[in-house]
């Protein structure tokens, strides 16, 4: 390992969207935490060649509380970070620590499945405290907390005050010693992502780093703690057009690219780790189509033929099902990829999106692999807090939907890298 490499510790990492974007910005993963076995396997299999040490228990854990409550484990991790990666935590060498605690208790979808349980009763809604503790111990130069827009207005219980949870989160991080803290609500579409996807990003910059790089910390987003927007999101037909198989079958799959890459963004997604552009006829993964019932196909076809409208006789309880536009209007992207791919109908075919198309929406290149089942539903995906069941399966669609969009993470990472490198030069 070279001395001047930038390293990041990623907590609640999921399948690795935030980490991957940061890696594109020049960071290297030093530690990963993720509770779900399939999600962390997705994270690890995509890094096992370049970062094999992550398989070592000194560099990953499932439950953050193992690290928080087990002093011996934490001490060993700090020791191995220095021995193997030359990161002297006690000397303030860790560059970046990021985390997005599970947000099902704050998001609109999570609220839909909360079974009327107060948010203060959901253990996952208090994990920000554990993240703050880890920050206080590892003392990174910069830390990033990210979560859903709903966190800003959430209440601990029906009798609470709107926004009280966010006030608790904000005060917890502001009370950390030696950090300047700022935050903003950002939209992924402003950073090259073909989604609206609003996210709350809270940034802490260590005082010594802030003083040395203050000249770079300027801007309209969180007073320069976050990067300025790029406003370069592409249309969906430019993003997904090369994956459209005119001969696809309902419930079938397409295992080879049927078209060459026609746009710059398609070429990006089809470029392998070693720089090879995948041509027509190359192997394509995760392009399996859901098997829709005849009445569903009829509804989708009707929607295509009637400007997205659903006939009264075909309406269901789906809260947001609509046809995706091939091109955005002047407002830009208006969708948010969630754990529910059946909320959206493909822009040119009567079907929902495949795992690979869902992954492209989030910025994952076509070589990125995902562990676990393709999809699941009901209690297995949401748990039942009323019965004390907090376990949740994370099939591929859910892993991808939960991820931080890669291009947003890359923009944030590039901004952080400039700040840290400036401080290192000083």
Q: What is the pLDDT of residue 378?
A: 52
Q: What token pair was written down for 204? A: 């802490």
Task: Report which of 95, 61, 55, 89 is spatially closest to residue 75, judged by C-alpha positions.
Answer: 89
User: Among the residues of 178-293, which ranges form H helices?
Assistant: 207-213, 236-240, 264-269
Q: What is the pLDDT of residue 114?
A: 46
- Given 15, 61, 103, 234, which residue is catalytic? 103
103 as an active site residue: the answer is yes
User: Among the residues of 34-163, which ranges form H helices?
Assistant: 37-45, 64-69, 71-85, 108-112, 127-138
Q: Could you tell me the residue ranges of all domains in the chain?
A: 6-233+405-425
Q: What is the pLDDT of residue 274?
A: 95
Percent of the chain having pLDDT more than 90? 82
- Separation between Cα atoms, residue 319 and residue 374, nearest integer Å: 22
Element (H, E) at 381: helix 379-382
Q: State pTM to two decimals.
A: 0.92
Q: What is the pLDDT of residue 117?
A: 56
Q: What is the pLDDT of residue 122?
A: 56
Identify the CATH homologous superfamily for domain 6-233+405-425.
Answer: Vaccinia Virus protein VP39 (3.40.50.150)
Instruction: Give Cβ neighbours of residue 312 (< 8 Å, ≥ 6 apart).
Output: none
Element (H, E) at 146: strand 142-148
Q: 392 near 68, Cβ under 8 Å?
A: no
Tokens 């859910």 sit on residue:
398
DSSP-assigned letters across all residues of 268-308: HHTB-TTSPBPPTTSB--S-BPP---HHHHHHHHHHHHTTT
SS3 324: coil
Q: 275 near 267, Cβ under 8 Å?
A: no
Q: 360 near 239, Cβ under 8 Å?
A: yes
| Ranges in the chain, pLDDT < 70 | 1-3, 103-125, 318-320, 377-392
The one-character DSSP state at 325 is: P
Q: 188 near 405, Cβ under 8 Å?
A: yes
Q: What is the pLDDT of residue 383?
A: 45
């Amino acid at each position: 390992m070279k001395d001047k490499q930038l390293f990041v510790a990623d907590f609640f990492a999921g399948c690795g969207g935030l980490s991957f974007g940061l890696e594109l910005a020049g960071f290297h993963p030093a530690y990963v935490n993720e509770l779900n076995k399939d999600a962390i396997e997705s994270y690890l299999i995509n890094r096992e060649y370049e970062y094999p040490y992550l398989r070592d228990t000194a560099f990953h854990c499932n439950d953050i509380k193992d690290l928080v409550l087990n002093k011996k484990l934490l001490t060993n991790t700090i020791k191995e970070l220095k021995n193997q990666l030359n990161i002297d935590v006690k000397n303030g060498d860790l560059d970046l620590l990021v985390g997005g605690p599970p947000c099902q208790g704050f998001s609109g979808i999570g609220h839909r499945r909360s079974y009327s349980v107060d948010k203060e009763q959901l253990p996952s809604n208090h994990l920000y405290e554990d993240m703050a503790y880890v920050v206080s111990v590892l003392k990174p130069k910069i830390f990033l907390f990210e979560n859903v827009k709903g966190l800003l207005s959430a209440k601990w219980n029906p009798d609470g005050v709107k926004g009280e949870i966010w006030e608790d989160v904000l005060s917890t991080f502001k009370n950390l010693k030696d950090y300047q803290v700022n935050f903003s609500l950002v939209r992924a579409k402003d950073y090259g992502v073909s989604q609206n996807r609003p996210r709350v990003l809270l940034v802490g910059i260590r005082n010594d780093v802030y003083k040395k790089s203050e000249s770079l910390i300027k801007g309209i987003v969180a007073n320069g703690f976050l990067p300025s927007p790029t406003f370069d999101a592409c249309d969906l037909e430019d993003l997904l057009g090369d994956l459209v198989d005119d001969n696809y079958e309902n419930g079938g799959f397409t295992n080879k690219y049927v078209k060459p890459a026609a746009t710059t963004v398609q070429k990006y997604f089809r470029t392998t780790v070693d720089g090879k552009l995948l041509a027509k006829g190359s192997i394509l993964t995760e392009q399996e189509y859901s098997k829709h019932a005849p009445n569903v196909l009829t509804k989708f076809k009707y929607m295509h033929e009637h400007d997205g409208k659903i006939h009264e006789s075909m309406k269901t309880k789906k809260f947001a099902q609509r046809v995706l536009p091939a091109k955005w209007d002047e407002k830009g992207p208006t969708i948010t990829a969630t754990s529910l791919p059946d909320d959206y109908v493909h822009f040119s075919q009567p079907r929902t999106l495949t795992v690979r198309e869902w992954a492209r929406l989030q910025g994952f290149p076509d070589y990125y692999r995902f562990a676990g089942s393709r999809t699941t539903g009901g209690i297995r995906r949401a748990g039942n807090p009323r019965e004390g069941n907090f376990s949740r399966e994370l099939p591929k669609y859910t892993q991808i939907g939960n991820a931080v969009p890669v291009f947003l993470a890359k923009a944030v990472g590039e901004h952080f890298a400039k700040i840290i490198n400036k401080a290192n030069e000083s």
